[in-house]
Amino acid sequence: MSVQVDSERLAEVVPDALAAIHEVLERHRVTEQEWHAVLAFLTEVGRADEFVLLSDVTRTSVLIDALTHGGDESGATASDVEGPMYTTEPPFRTKIYEEYEGISPDDDVLFVRGTVTSTAGDPVPEAVVDVWQTGPSGGYDVWDERQPEGNFRGRIRAETDGSYEFETMLPKPYTVPTEGPVGRYLEAVGQHPWRPAHIHLKVTAPGHQTLITQVFFPGDPYLDNDTIGAVKAALVRPVEPEGDHLACRFDIALRPAA
């Protein structure tokens, strides 16, 4: 992702950002040795490609999401942080996983369904819903050698009435990556690395603003204690038994394009 920032905007924000950093350095009388450690840490974060992760665990991503999308009373579905695990253009499929060694008989198949509408309540038949999530064990496909590439990722096109459905498995809480510099940071500041179970969605449709969000499930031990602070009450959805599997309804309302 390469986004150009307007030079007027830079002239407005950068001096204030520097003044804020300088004020903290002065207030805490930060030493040369400590500052060099900070620079070495940030260099490592860049080398490990962990800047998004750092933004997430410092809850900066949540703040930027709130500044960008918060205070909206249009009735649109609440947005949430994208995180670093999205991969572009997952395959179109309504069952988004393949079985792998690591699924236990106690793990639950989950159907997620809902409708995509505009904030005015009209169906959005052409909406495309990208989903990505962890499996019931081993985390994301890219972290788990047992899972085929692209497991628990998929893309669903809404029907003519705006409805969509996909088959997955109920995810579990997981830890963000801890083996790199951000993991060392978490340990140093005493912050746990756990996220509550969730499913990520990115919903696109012509004439509407793209929605990036997450769905959470009641009763999760990390709902009040997400390491990236991304849980919103409006995004916690019940899961109900339905025959031999579970089902969760997640209706989505999109804002009109700006």
Q: What residue ranges bind ligand BEZ (CB under 6 A)? A: 53, 56, 83-85, 176, 195, 228
Query: Which contacts (CB < 8 Å, 24+ apart) does range 239-248 have?
Result: 239/110, 239/170, 242/111, 244/109, 245/108, 245/109, 245/110, 245/111, 246/108, 246/109, 246/110, 246/111, 246/170, 247/110, 247/111, 247/112, 247/113, 248/110, 248/111, 248/112, 248/113, 248/215, 248/217
Q: Token pair 């960008």 is at which residue?
A: 68
Complex with ligand BEZ: residue 56 or 141, whichever CB lies closer:
56
Complex with ligand BEZ: residue 92 or 143, whichever CB lies closer:
143
Token pair recorded at residue 74: 């249009």
Taking the complex as a whole, how short is the minimal distance between the CB of residue 199 and ligand BEZ, in angstroms? 10
Complex with ligand BEZ: residue 25 or 78, whichever CB lies closer:
78
Complex with ligand BEZ: residue 84 or 150, whichever CB lies closer:
84
Taking the complex as a whole, how short is the minimal distance between the CB of residue 139 and ligand BEZ, in angstroms? 9
- Give residue number: closest CB to ligand BEZ: 83
Taking the complex as a whole, how short is the minimal distance between the CB of residue 60 and ligand BEZ, in angstroms? 12
Complex with ligand BEZ: residue 53 or 215, whichever CB lies closer:
53
Complex with ligand BEZ: residue 162 or 183, whichever CB lies closer:
183
Taking the complex as a whole, how short is the minimal distance between the CB of residue 234 and ligand BEZ, in angstroms? 18
CA distances (Å), 146 to each of 103, 104, 134, 156, 195, in order?
Answer: 10, 14, 13, 25, 22
CA distances (Å), 112 to each of 134, 185, 206, in order?
Answer: 15, 36, 23
Complex with ligand BEZ: residue 55 or 118, whichever CB lies closer:
55
Taking the complex as a whole, how short is the minimal distance between the CB of residue 150 and ligand BEZ, in angstroms? 15
Taking the complex as a whole, how short is the minimal distance between the CB of residue 138 and ligand BEZ, in angstroms? 14
204 phi-psi bin (left φ>0, alpha ψ -120 to 50, beta other): beta
| Antiparallel, parallel or unpaired: β 252-254 and 109-118 | parallel
Taking the complex as a whole, how short is the minimal distance between the CB of residue 80 and ligand BEZ, in angstroms? 9
